[in-house]
Structure 1
Amino acid sequence: MICLRSLPLVPHELKSPLSFRTRAQQQHSHPFSQSLRSHTVPHKTLTGGGTATTTVANVALSEHNDLNAAEEEEPLPSELSEELMPNHVALIMDGNGRWAKQRGLPVSAGHQAGARSLRELVEICCKWGVRVLTVFAFSYDNWIRPKVEVEFLMNLFEREIKSQMQKFVRTVRVFQNPNSRKIKDVIGFWRATERYEGIRISVIGDSSKLPESLQKLISDAEEATKDSSRFQLIVAVSYSGKYDIVQACKSLACKVKDGVVQLEDISESLVEQELETNCTEYPYPDLLIRTSGELRVSNFLLWQLAYTEFFFVKELWPDFGKAEFVEALISFQQRQRRYGARIT
């Protein structure tokens, strides 16, 4: 089913609780709290000359509660149902160039604004229970764009990965180095781990065309976050749906040649196992969102989108925010997914 935001939504009574897997509410316990409790610091000087001590964790928690109240877990909007939230959202982030042109800015400014929008959406997805977000960051067809723009995008990818990984590494180093366990460090550590703990980064696409430095960063990021399971961000770079299907067929052909797979055993299931989205527990997007008013999938996840619900918005990607995401989710939750069957 396809929905353009200007079209009327499907009536609320068409909701089907049978269409989605119910997800129990997860309890998120902090893995470092026990160790933090074991460390003490001077708290204040007493009248008699002694000092009272308190745990680093207690002080950090107190400061954290005061300074970080705005970053508490954000409840799911009342108009959304937790049981009907999509596990996997795919996103075509379109319109950075037009956004910049409308403001008399260089295209690079549009891409930077788009990166900010993505960071904000990742945080929202983590808070609201979306398990996987796959974003179309750079199409294989985008290599024909002006060299200056392509080079800027490659550098932007590197900066974004470095920035996020530095935050990840910094939180680990604070805990590993006893000499750095100052209150402000622990507060920063606590806040950063709350935000970034459990996020797995995966990159799909033809990496052979990427700069070697970017390939190395991607490999390091994937390795560092491979055991995270709270949320997965899949970034499609130098990717196309046709490329994905072709590389899967080549992989199966090699296995047939080597006698690992028999020709008559090839099935949809085997093909799906060779697609690049085999990196996730939820390889098929429940919802595809495309910004900027364009009504096409542009060679993105062609196999995987077979039963995906589509939602198109007119806003350019840098202008896409929480309100637009809520609207897409409301539309999604009001649909009846049949998967080819007839519901009576």
Structure 2
Amino acid sequence: MTVGPILVTGAGGFVCSEVALALHRAGTDVVAVDRVFDAATTARLSEVRCIEGHLQQVLAAGAIPAVSGVIHGAAITASPQRLGISCAAHIRRNTDMLTTTLDFAREAGADRFLYLSSMGVFATDDVPSPEGRFTEATQPTATGPYCAAKRAGELLTASAAEPGFTSLSLRLGNIFGAHEAMRESRQHLCLVSRMINEARASSVITVQTPKVAREWAWLPDLAATIARLVADLPAIGPRVLHAGTPPVLTDLDVARAIADRLPGTTIRLASPPHDRVRLPMANGVSSIFDDAGWTGVEDALDLLIPAEVAQ
């Protein structure tokens, strides 16, 4: 195994900042890179080496001479329309960041590369498993620019593997946790955070799709398992994995659980017809995520809502 830190790209963001912390807590040397680290994230990562700047420029500057592995989470998830760029430019920016980081990983001596992909590769009418979830066996067909970049990224990551260099793509689903914030490249919050914010601002939660069921991964559980995964990345097996089989709740049940913890909150149901939403994700391939030990949504909300109120 190569001696050196784990590089985490996109480490100023919601998910990868927690991944960087999980690696640090596990005793791993970490280099965290992002275009911008806000003050709150900088404080949380105070014991982690953080480098701020555009990814390609940071990697070309020679400030990171050697790494043992890479977790590539840097991505533009905001739509091309919101950013005022073309679909082609959106795809290019995402794939350029990936290919630059793959090339850097090989030059810096890394023997492991984990690409964080997304549920966004799936369309609502893709064919689920017999259990009614999207697994690794489900063929993704979504065609938007972000979806296309993620699917292309999975292929590029798999194609970069060679003797002495193991690569794997990990698809993430719905995630919730503390410290979530919008940024230029990610101009939305998860549904749980949006519901909490609406309840705190107006004492109302509007549920647009009451019967929709979604998987919900508690971010500290996810990050800790990713840290374990990258420590011993499997060299044999599928090149794309799903990040476990987290608990599933309907949107209405999530709203009720939040309302129970924020007294005086009223739930308002949107009138039908309701939008279709993709089915929950699960892993159909045995992996370290079999032992993720997911925190239940209601137990996690007991931790999250006091933290939200304190902010």
Q: Same fold (TM over 0.5)?
A: no
| Higher RCO, 1 vs 2 (CA within 8 Å, ≥6 residues apart) | 1
Normalising by structure 2, report the TM-score: 0.29
Normalising by structure 1, report the TM-score: 0.27
Larger radius of gyration: 1
Structure with greater helix percent:
1
